[in-house]
Amino acid sequence: AVARFETDTPVNMSTAGKVIKCKAAVLWEANKPFSIEEVEVAPPKEHEVRIKIMATGICRSDDHVVTGTMVSPFPVILGHEAAGVVESVGQGVTSVKPGDKVIPLFIPQCGECKSCLNTKGNMCSKTDLGARGLMSDGTTRFTCKGKAIYHFLGTSTFTEYTVVHETAVAKIDSAAPLEKVCLIGCGFSTGYGAALQTAKVEPGSTCAVFGLGGVGLSAVMGCKAAGAARIIAVDINKDKFAKAKQLGATDCINPQDFKKPIHEVLMEMTGGGVDYSFEVIGRTDTMTAALACCQCNYGVSVIVGVPPAAQKITLDPMLLFTGRSWKGSVFGGWKSKDAVPKLVADYMKKTFVLDPLITHTLPWTKINEGFDLLRTGK
């Protein structure tokens, strides 16, 4: 689901340097609904950018914070998959200016840390996956009812205005439809890149994708774009199968239809295992099944779903000794600031589609309804 913000109010540049009062969806504590509150958003400090959010996707990772499987301090403004317009910039910002269309980046690109400097890396050390919930100076830009509100993944997009670091924002094509390309801020790029960038799926290969939410469907699209000959989609919700086939899946299977473990079913279907498998759910049992279903000697399995906090995996090391590779993928392996504008340009050239990934478009004040749709598999 994508939440759309009212777009009839033009970005008012006269707010530069001032505190903006606006509406935001605040999560005061875990396992509670979002509360639409008036918040104060401070002006951007040095090397920071204040953005008017125009559209934000609802991602399972946000829900992981609500349910406690992903740790975050409270109260917090969640959201990390969005697109908007720059309202004002802090001192020293050179890469964007007021009026630019942008996508906030939950994986920044500072260009200076080890991961940024390595051609194989993309997980910038400035990312807040450790959930500190603060800007680089150790403070927050949000207050509500006199209380400081924490940031989420350096983006916090469930608000009319947010503040991000300059390393965490990418300028995009001014003609791009923001209510579609917001998905390039997380879900689409994460799944598509897991296939193309992390696994480097080869033409003619066989793939299995576990989990057919927005990210899983994007992984299916990535496998297809890479030329995979067979793409087996795995989900316990058969309502997802039609769309998976539309986007490139050749087979769709429900583990509940079989007596034997799903990895054995896949091994039999493929005569010894798939070349590439993707776990796009965030469950330890499916991570192990995805590893076990790939070819014992040269199969590659990629963990794309966020692992649940405090859970461990026990596995037979023989699974890896025979030659399988087990990898993780954050934001599809893309270097964010470099890749996001290019992915938006590819979308504008119709290299890939985003419309099938958007099931509902809601006014953002109905964000709790959007999360209900997510939780019920709709």
**pLDDT band for position 4 (cuts 50, 70, 90):** confident
**What pairing do the DSSP bridges indicate for beta strands 48-57 and 2-4?**
antiparallel
Q: Are 57 and 354 in contact (CB under 8 A)?
A: no
Does the pLDDT of residue 308 top 90, yes or no?
no
Domain 200-328, what fold? Answer: Rossmann fold (3.40.50)
Cβ-based burial of 14 (10 A; exposed 0-12, middle 13-18, buried ≥19)? exposed
CATH 3.90.180.10 segments of the chain: 2-187+333-376
Whether the CA torsion 107, 24, 361, 346 is positive or negative: it is negative
3-class DSSP state for residue 266? helix
Question: Taking Cα atoms as reference points, which of 329, 357, 314, 73 lies closest to residue 214?
Answer: 357
Q: pLDDT tens digits for 317-326?
A: 999 999 999 9
CATH 3.40.50.720 segments of the chain: 200-328
Q: Which are the catalytic amino acids?
A: 59, 61, 64, 80, 186
Write down the architecture of domain 2-187+333-376 according to CATH.
Answer: Alpha-Beta Complex (3.90)
Q: Which two tokens stand for residue 210?
A: 């576990």
pTM above 0.75, yes or no: yes
pLDDT at 12: 56
- Give the type of residue at 318: M
Q: Are 67 and 32 in contact (CB under 8 A)?
A: no
For 11, 56, 156, the CA distances from 371, given in Å and listed in that order, are 28, 13, 16
Q: pLDDT tens digits for 226-248?
A: 999 999 999 999 999 999 999 99
Mean pLDDT of 40-65: 95
DSSP state of 303: E
Average pLDDT, the chain: 95
**Chain mean position to CA 14:** 33
Q: pLDDT tens digits for 182-220?
A: 999 999 999 999 999 999 999 999 999 999 999 999 999
pLDDT at 10: 54
Does the pLDDT of residue 3 top 80, yes or no?
no
Backbone torsion region of residue 91, taken as left when φ is above 0, otherwise alpha when ψ lies between -120 and 50, otherwise beta: beta
The percentage of residues in the chain with a pLDDT greater than 90, rounded to a whole number, is 88
DSSP string computed for 196-229: IIII---TT-EEEEE--SHHHHHHHHHHHHTT-S
Placement of tokens 């429900």 in the chain: 254
